[in-house]
Amino acid sequence: MKKQFLEAGKIVRTHGVRGELVLECWADSPEFLAGLKHLYFDGGSRDAGLVSSRVHKGRVLLKLQGVDTVEQGDALRGKVLYLDRDDVELPEGRYFLQDLIGLKAVDGNTGREYGVLQEVLPTGANDVYRIVDGAGREFLFPAVKHMIQGIDLEKGIIALLPIPGIFDGSGEEA
């Protein structure tokens, strides 16, 4: 089941003397988060009162209602902010990473099950999927377009087209 509210980032410190906050971005880019009109606290249950946001040195600077001093800002340090998925329209073929976690990884040609996608690791060139099979073995799979046949969130499946060697020894009978 898809979560309505997704983790967007964490408040790491204040900026200046008027209560502006620095948000560590957990999205594809700080520009993405700076473009949102609303952010939420407490898993999405409470509106954060976003007044303004802007990108600064790879992070997002936020101004929230009622946060006008360094002391008020410091009280929010470490708090996670959430976004509402209804506030975002993703382009075709793009997904929230949190929706990919838990998908069953299968071979796009044979249907063979490889395991469950546990984590998405950013590497710079491309993401890498950490997949764990039923025996607890871990496999790292490069998340590149030509090796992913399709993603079906409703069925909970990601169909992969692996090169030989990636899943060797993962329980396939010899």
pTM (two decimals)? 0.76
Q: Per-domain residue ranges for the chain? A: 5-86, 99-160
Q: What is the mean pLDDT of the chain?
A: 92
Q: What is the DSSP letter of 3?
A: -
Question: Are the C-beta atoms of residues 129 and 71 closer than 8 Å to each other?
Answer: no
- All residues at 6 or more sequence positions from 25 whose CB lies less than 8 Å from its CB, including other chains: 8, 9, 32, 33, 58, 59, 60
Question: So what's the pLDDT on residue 70?
Answer: 95
pLDDT above 90 coverage of the chain, percent? 79
The model's pLDDT over 84-136, given as tens digits with 9 standing for 90+, comes to: 999 998 888 888 888 999 999 999 999 999 999 999 998 888 899 999 999 99
Name the fold adopted by 5-86: Elongation Factor Tu (Ef-tu); domain 3 (2.40.30)
Q: What is the pLDDT of residue 100?
A: 93
Altogether, the residues listed in the chain come to a count of: 174
Rounded CA-CA distance 55/63 in Å is 12
Phi, psi of 150 (to 5 degrees): 180, 160
Average pLDDT over residues 37-42: 96
Percent pLDDT > 70 in the chain is 96
Has domain 99-160 been given CATH number 1.10.3720.10? no
What's residue 169's pLDDT?
A: 60
Residue 1: predicted pLDDT = 61
